[in-house]
């Protein structure tokens, strides 16, 4: 299976060095939608054709995403055949699922995948650690869907002092959001789990069990885990993160492409973005059908199906948008710096939205802005 992987040993060596540099930071800063499972699948469909429009040789696009409701755009794009249809003849789509953002970014660095849906903080860390060489954000996908849910007797931030809370991973998007919010409430935290409020990074499935057992008193988690904590463990919402952002919008999931692949195959990336826009349009126009497709994909990838009432309730807390909401990415980076989890960074160049704006223009939609 030809993949046009004729990059020089020099470039590969450079990426290995960057991957090693990424190390613990990338591993710690992934997991925005930790699902507790990882698998791989190949989606061929109409994409398993003959040749690229530019080189006359076959191209394989390897796409990563999470089996989670916050990645519904990818789940529906793959499961409905929208991505394969938009990529068209000459491009073979292979997909791989991840359970943490850090793992997806590491795979991108290692040239094991060419593009991935991922949360903001893993993308930031990958961009910074590679000095801007590794990746570009080419589209948004999802906004919203993160909550601080707590025991019913906790009524305010002051009640959290001395309590133990969970997040998906140290330095991930929800972890940064919780630490930043607590700091704004004059409650201190540290990376070792000390301070006024103890934060325990752990997988979301473990968080559900720990909350039921009384080992933690709350968690800042993405959907569907917030809804599951409410439905299955009696939690209540203390903070809906949408209330902390202008117009209630902030990036939860966006589409990232390896810069070398974008440079070599802009036509393929444009077709992927066309699939992204078409998938989001379908998700917004056909929510019931999209929930079934997404749940079918989750079951296929994890062997576990979400309850219908869980996916329906969590779906309502998400906004599916092609706008990557760049201002919220910059704010997330600033928050990570303020809580001591990230050095001050320059994100100039992290976005390449030219192809997205071309696609949006053809669809008669408004263009979006980068930083």
Q: What is the pTM of this model?
A: 0.84
Q: 264 is written with which tokens? A: 């070599």
Catalogue all structural domains in the chain, each as residue range(s) with its CATH number. 9-143+249-362 (3.40.190.10), 146-248 (3.40.190.10)
Q: Are 152 and 122 in contact (CB under 8 A)?
A: no
Distance CA 80, CA 278 (A): 11
Distance CA 286, CA 284 (A): 6
Q: What CA–CA distance (Å, rounded) separates 154 from 147? A: 15
Helix or strand or coil: residue 289? helix
CA distance 286 to 79: 14
Q: In whole angstroms, what separates CA 40 from the centre of its chain?
A: 17
The one-digit pLDDT tens for each residue of the chain (371 residues) are 333 333 333 334 334 334 434 443 333 333 454 443 333 333 333 333 333 445 567 899 999 999 999 999 999 999 999 999 999 999 999 999 998 888 999 999 999 999 999 999 899 989 999 999 999 999 999 999 999 999 999 999 999 999 999 999 898 889 999 999 999 999 999 999 999 999 999 999 999 999 999 999 999 999 999 999 999 999 999 999 999 999 999 999 999 999 999 999 999 999 999 999 999 999 999 999 999 999 999 999 999 999 999 999 999 999 999 999 999 999 999 999 999 998 888 999 999 999 999 999 999 999 999 97
Nearest to 185, CA basis, from 170, 203, 165, 204: 165
Size (the chain), residues: 371
């Amino acid at each position: 299976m030809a993949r046009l992987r004729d990059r020089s040993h020099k470039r590969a060596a450079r990426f290995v060095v960057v991957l090693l540099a990424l190390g613990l930071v990338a591993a710690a800063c992934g997991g925005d939608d930790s699902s507790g499972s990882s698998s791989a699948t190949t989606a061929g469909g109409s994409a398993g054709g003959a040749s690229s429009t530019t080189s006359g040789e076959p191209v394989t696009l390897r796409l990563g995403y999470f089996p989670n409701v916050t990645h519904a755009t990818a789940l529906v794009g793959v499961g409905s055949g929208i991505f394969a249809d938009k990529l068209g003849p000459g491009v073979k789509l292979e997909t791989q699922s991840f359970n943490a953002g850090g793992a997806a970014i590491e795979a991108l660095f290692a040239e094991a995948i060419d593009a991935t849906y991922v949360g903001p903080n893993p993308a930031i860390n990958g961009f910074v650690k590679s000095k801007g060489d590794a990746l570009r954000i080419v589209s948004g996908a999802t906004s919203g869907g993160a909550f601080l849910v707590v025991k019913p007797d906790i009524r305010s931030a002051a009640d959290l002092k001395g309590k133990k809370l969970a997040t998906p991973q140290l330095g991930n998007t929800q972890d940064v959001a919780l630490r930043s919010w607590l700091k704004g409430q004059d409650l201190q935290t540290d990376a070792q789990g000390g301070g006024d409020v103890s934060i325990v990074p752990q997988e979301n499935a473990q968080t559900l069990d720990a909350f039921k057992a009384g080992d933690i008193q709350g968690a800042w988690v993405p959907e569907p885990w917030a809804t599951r904590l409410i439905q299955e463990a009696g939690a209540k919402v203390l903070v809906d993160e949408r209330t902390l952002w202008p117009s209630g919008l902030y990036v939860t999931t966006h589409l990232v492409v390896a810069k070398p692949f974008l440079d070599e195959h802009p036509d393929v990336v444009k077709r992927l973005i066309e699939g992204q826009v078409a998938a989001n349009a379908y998700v917004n126009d056909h929510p019931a059908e999209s929930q079934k497709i997404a749940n079918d994909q989750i079951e296929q990838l994890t062997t576990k199906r979400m309850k219908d009432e869980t996916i329906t309730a969590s779906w309502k807390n998400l906004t599916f948008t092609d706008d990557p909401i760049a201002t919220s990415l910059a704010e997330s980076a600033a928050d990570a710096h303020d809580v001591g989890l990230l050095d001050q960074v320059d994100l100039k160049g992290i976005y390449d939205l030219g192809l997205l704006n071309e696609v949006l223009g053809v669809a008669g939609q408004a263009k979006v802005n980068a930083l």
